[in-house]
Amino acid sequence: MHNNLNTICGNGALLIVAPIPPLEELEREADKRDLQSVEAFTSPSRRAERLAWRRVLRDVAPAAEVKYAPSGAPRLKNSPYTYISVSHCCDVVAVALSNARCGVDVERVDRDFARVAERYMTAAERAICAAEWWAAAVWCAKECLYKMAEREGVNFREDMAVLGVDTAERKLLCRGVDGAEIALDYRIIDQQHIVVYKL
């Protein structure tokens, strides 16, 4: 197993956050299926992101095959897990594995969300918390909810919401695309990244 920044287990599910290694290392270690999955990618960073999450999956479930539902959401075959959710930012990848629908998103806490905040954050959401990581937390929560909804045409500002935060329990209370309330977990990892997830 490779070095991971964080591994969280619970209820038969798993979340792994790992650094994205150099592309050359990933290509050298990749199997045939992994290399085929990046054949169409010309961007080295996109190749590295895909190969990094597939390496995490291979470490946990070597025989797993990635298939796609009609919605485009990935599913696993030949694995102890059925559902997979993946996220990456410039230097880390997060992979959630579960037998229930799951979601994950990771971002750097120092990313500047000022240019896009109006498109995904309401005034009420901005007023919930003044922490420097808050804009990233709301973005990650909505990405996580979107992935779990498996629906096209979702408006991040209007179709879902972050309703509150419990910093002691590291939970975000949210309203999903279907209108139901849902609690998402969050962690600040290595003081540089935030990961929001539902296992």
Same domain, 117 and 89: no
**Which helix or strand (DSSP H or E) is residue 138 part of?**
helix 134-149
Measured between alpha carbons, how far is 153 from 145 in angstroms, rounded to an integer?
A: 13
Q: Residue 65 CB: number of other CB atoms within 10 A?
A: 12
Question: How many structural domains are present in the chain?
Answer: 2
Q: Taking 80 as the threshold, does the pLDDT of residue 78 lie above it?
A: yes
Q: Taking 90 as the threshold, does the pLDDT of residue 72 lie above it?
A: no
Measured between alpha carbons, how far is 80 from 23 in angstroms, rounded to an integer?
A: 28
Same domain, 181 and 119: yes
Final residue before a domain boundary, out of 101, 126, 157 = 101
Same domain, 94 and 113: no
Same domain, 74 and 29: yes
Of 71 and 93, the one with more pLDDT: 93
Q: Is residue 1 part of a domain?
A: no
Structure token pair of residue 15:
């979340």
- Mind listing the pLDDT tens digit for each residue in 126-140? 999 999 999 999 999
Of 12 and 55, the one with more pLDDT: 55
Q: So what's the pLDDT on residue 1? A: 59
Same domain, 82 and 156: no
- Mind listing the pLDDT tens digit for each residue in 1-19? 577 777 888 888 999 999 9
How many residues are given for the chain?
A: 199
Residue 180: domain span: 107-198
Q: So what's the pLDDT on residue 36? A: 94
* Average of per-residue pLDDT across 177-199: 96
Q: Where are the beta strands (DSSP E) in the chain?
A: 6-10, 13-19, 65-68, 74-77, 83-88, 92-98, 103-108, 161-166, 171-175, 181-189, 193-198
Of 2 and 81, the one with more pLDDT: 81
Same domain, 17 and 89: yes
Q: So what's the pLDDT on residue 4? A: 75
- Mind listing the pLDDT tens digit for each residue in 19-50? 999 999 999 999 999 999 999 999 999 999 99
Final residue before a domain boundary, out of 49, 70, 101 = 101
Same domain, 93 and 24: yes
CATH of residue 13's domain is 3.90.470.20
Structure token pair of residue 116:
């896009």
Q: Is residue 68 part of a domain?
A: yes
Q: Taking 90 as the threshold, does the pLDDT of residue 71 lie above it?
A: no
Q: Taking 90 as the threshold, does the pLDDT of residue 85 lie above it?
A: yes
User: What are the residues whose beta carbons fall under 8 Å from the beta carbon of 112, sequence distance 6 or more?
Assistant: none
Same domain, 151 and 166: yes
